[in-house]
Structure 1
Amino acid sequence: MFAEIITIGDEILIGQVIDSNSAWIAKQLNALGIRVRQITSISDDKEHIFNAMNEARKNADLIIMTGGLGPTRDDITKRTFADYFNDELIMNDRILKGVEDYFASKGKEMLDVNKYQALVPSRSKPVQNKNGTAPATWMEDNGQVFISLPGVPYEMKAMMNDPLLKWIKQYFNTPFVYHRTVLTQGMGESRIMGLISKWEDSLEEHNIKLAYLPSPGMVRLRLSATGDNQNRITTAVDKKVKELENLIGDIIFGYGEDTLEGVVGKLLREKGKTLSTAESCTGGYIAHLITSISGSSDYFQGSIVSYSNEVKQNTLGVSSSDIETHGAVSEEVVRQMAEGARKTMRTDFAVATSGVAGPNGGSDQKPVGTVWIAVSSKSGTIAKKYTFGNNRERNIRQSALAALNMLRKEILADT
């Protein structure tokens, strides 16, 4: 069972808008057991749309299109969609009532041009847009399904979630698909593969597929299985996840949609502990991740972005002689930063970072990517040196995740 996604809009082709719709749609289809064979981006041009639809129907059972459904002249998708199927646009009273209600709920006057949104191909099954004015369109033709959706992400997602994904599953009678994603931090994919190679070989007899999904600072391991026997599939995958935990449990921090900041926050809340941070090379990014979690005020006291040596000394109490002797990027300094933050903000835990984020500022002794991270608690202070790469953005991200994972382990060890 194959699908193709077509995004329509010059704004995508010139880089003005990033196509996040295709990634989201592909993820939803994959969860239904539908494989996306191709994603295509095209301009607002009738010939291009026709060509893309012709090519898509050669390879896919389901074709999903997004974009070009607005009321302005440059939005030609709906009329082109109808022309492609030799159909005509007709006024749909139910859709029109929805558009009128939408404008009324916003306290705005509905213009005549907005009535155009209620025109739909006569052979199609329209879906009301509760978050906008452009409806979605479901068209069946020779055993294939074409869906046209607005390009506004939150409008598109709402209609896909209800009812289009349900319709797709019913129409194509898709199999049960089960994914378990294991989240790891602190080890690259090559090293992980070396540790679990025999276990990975055993997946084949259970028809389970493994995908390595690396990103800066972490590696996701996704186990997937498809079939008709839901109980057998879930049992087999869950058993393999348990086996994986026995092999690399020390680097596993969560599952599925978990985040390190979310996992750390949950642990702090459960244990009734508090946290502060002292950041140099990460520039407040750790604090940003922590406070992205709702309710983080329960455990997070604050952060000191000690970018300069003066702030390290005057606010955190770092020894000026240690900075002079060992440099700001050193074990001695980062330990004192963590201890200073914990003392100043009176928290149970404190995390500190100091490093060379780059791309400038490195030396032979401390090249770009050198980062020291410390975690301080009542049990003492630990520090670890990391060597990342030469990309500033990735170094900051990797440093923050490494710091949160060090903290996670210390919280778990806390008694």
Structure 2
Amino acid sequence: MNKPTLVEIVTIGDEILYGQITDTNSQWMGTELNKIGLKVLRKTSIGDTKEEILGILKEASSRADVVLITGGLGPTKDDITKTTIAEYFNVGMTFREEVLANLAELFKNRNRKMTDLNRMQADVPSNGKVLMNDVGTAPGMWFEEDDTIFVSMPGVPREMKFLMSNHVLPQLQAKFDTPHIVHKMLRTMGIPESLLAQTIEDWENNLPEFIKLAYLPRFGQVRLRLTAVGEDKSILETSIAEQVEKLKPLIGEKLYAEEDVEIEYMIMEKMIEKGLSLATAESCTGGFVAQRITKMSGCSTFYNGGIVSYSNEVKMSQLGVKEETLKKYGAVSEQTALEMAANVKAKYGADYGIATTGIAGPGGGTEEKPVGTVWIGISTPTETKAKLLQLTKQREVNITATSNNILQWLYDEVNN
């Protein structure tokens, strides 16, 4: 097998380190590099200082075949990447007429006047090959030294993606003879990572050497990623498919998708297929379940509507929960969850009604009902039932875990 081509991604900007912006560039670049068989060795974020930039260029070149750099190419004084790269290579700057012409056209199309600072964007380290940027003012730059490729690009995601898609990825793919990398993602829910690992241990131990398994847990879900690396893509795909067939009976109903999709997509697919409809009643999740459903195109085919009934008054007036139920059992109770689920189903003329009511936290708990106490309810065409969840003291975790649990329960019921 060919030696893997190693890539290091460097993002430059104090704003990243301060947490003022999120580095989405590295994630996107990693995904696209993987598609063409290039292995990301490391991702590093550094500040806008000459010492940091010079240091990381030297370090990265010692361990990677390709160093991809984003950020610090603007026209202002704090953007020092270009001049620092020139210092690293011990070269001067060269004014590129073709870059100026590209800038002039860009400003003309935007009906804007080009300043002297903008003209300075045409100054490029003399050993760099220009990668023309048709969607921004800073060109990309390609350098090669001592068997290492360095590429510098703007940090603006739209500009970086243009340069990567139109220049960098095609040139890297042409330059390196890379192996094929095939991924297969499986989605499980309702089984802890440790129990899942124990359940499939023998299967995992007998995977072919060229197939690796990764566990990616998140809020009651575990994604399993199978990755195969080799010269023949068809053999890799066939081998992964064979291993998936061996795995499926081991996980059973806890495996809800053989692709990387959320469970609500599988629910929509099944309910539309069966001609079923859904309504939601939410208290502690505050509409999060409805948001997960309505973010999907086509959800109106099966989703009739929902109510966020946070107060007892709304539970009574809009959902018809009995006053005596709330007085006797409280809003966070099996009885309230049952009435919410049944009544929202009837109110919206749906086949299924689901409900959430609980103490999301961090306050509001009691000794009898501590923070994290949640009841979920479901009303099917034949019965109405509820479940108790004992979750955490963290509000966001509780909201997400509650929505996962009710959607998993709905998925199981619809698939029965």
* TM-score normalised according to structure 1 size: 0.92
- Contact 2:186–2:260, Cα closer than 8 Å, also in 1: no
1:291-306 equivalence runs, <5 A: 291-306=294-309
Q: 1:118 is matched with which residue?
A: 122
Quote the offset at 1:330 in angstroms.
1.9
Give the whole-Å Cα distance in 2 for the aligned partners of 1:373 and 1:196.
30
Q: Which 5+ residue runs of structure 1 have no aligned equivalent?
A: none
Q: In the alignment, what sits opposite 1:282?
A: 285
Q: Structure 1 206/60 Cα, relative in aligned 2: closer, same or farther at 3 Å?
A: closer
| Corresponding residue of 1:264 | 267
Distance 2:96 2:270 in 1: 53
Counterpart CA distance in 2 for 1:61 and 1:230 is 23
Mapped partners of 2:102, 2:296: distance in 1: 36
Which segment drifts farther, 175-184 or 264-273?
264-273
Partners of 1:280 and 1:78 lie apart in 2 by 53
Aligned runs of 1:94-109 on 2, under 5 Å?
94-109=98-113
Structure-to-structure mapping, 1:5-404, within 5 angstroms: 5-203=9-207, 205-404=208-407
1:406 has 2:409 as partner: yes
Identity, % of aligned pairs?
43
Unaligned runs of 5+ in 2: none
Q: SS in structure 2 opposite 1:59?
A: coil
Distance 2:101 2:413 in 1: 58
Encode CA deviations 1:173-195: one digit per residue, 9 max, x unaligned.
21100111111111110111121
Partner of 1:3: 7
Q: For the residues of structure 2 that align with 1:357 and 1:254, how far apart are their CA atoms? A: 29
Deviations 1:161-207 (A, max 9, x none): 3332232232222110011111111111011112111111111x342
* Equivalent pair of 1:182/1:222 in contact (CA under 8 Å): yes
Q: Offset of 1:106 from its aligned partner? A: 3.0
Taking a change above 3 Å as real, the CA distance of residues 269 and 130 of structure 1, as seen in their structure-2 partners, is farther
- Aligned partner letter, 2:414: I
Relative to structure 1, the CA distance from residue 254 to residue 128 in structure 2 (aligned partners, 3 Å threshold; closer, same or farther) is farther
Name the CA distance, whole Å, in 2 between partners of 1:179 and 1:385. Answer: 37
Report if the CA contact (8 A) 1:206-1:236 is conserved.
no
Deviates more, 1:181-190 or 1:149-158: 149-158
Deviation per CA, 1:99-138, whole angstroms, max 9, x where unpaired?
Answer: 3333333333333322222333343232232332222222
* Deviation of 1:19 (Å): 2.1
The residue type equivalent to 2:246 in the other structure is E
Q: What letter is aligned with 1:73?
A: K
Letter in 2 for 1:372: W
Q: Which amino acid aligns with 2:80?
A: I
1:262-290: per-residue Cα shift (whole Å, max 9, x none)? 33233333334332211011001111111
Secondary structure at the aligned position of 1:239 is classed as helix
Alpha-carbon contact 1:282-1:400 (below 8 Å) kept: yes
- Whole-Å Cα distance in 2 between the matches of residues 215 and 391 of structure 1? 15
1:15 aligns to what SS in structure 2?
coil
Evaluate the alpha carbon distance shift between residue 350 and residue 108 of structure 1 in structure 2; reply closer, same or farther with a 3 A threshold.
Answer: farther
Instruction: Give distance in 2, aligned partners of 1:368 and 1:91.
Output: 64
Q: Counterparts of 1:394 and 1:358 in 2: how far apart (Å)? A: 10
Call closer, same or farther: CA 1:13–1:33 in 2, change over 3 Å: same
Does the 8 Å CA contact 1:217/1:397 hold for their aligned counterparts?
no
**Cα deviation, residue 94, structure 1:** 4.1
Asked if 2 retains the 8 angstrom alpha-carbon contact of 1:98 and 1:130, the reply is yes
Shift of 1:93: 4.2
Q: Which amino acid aligns with 2:204?
A: E
Distance 1:379 1:90, change over 3 A: farther
The structure-2 alpha-carbon separation of the partners of 1:258 and 1:102, relative to structure 1 and needing over 3 Å to count, comes to farther
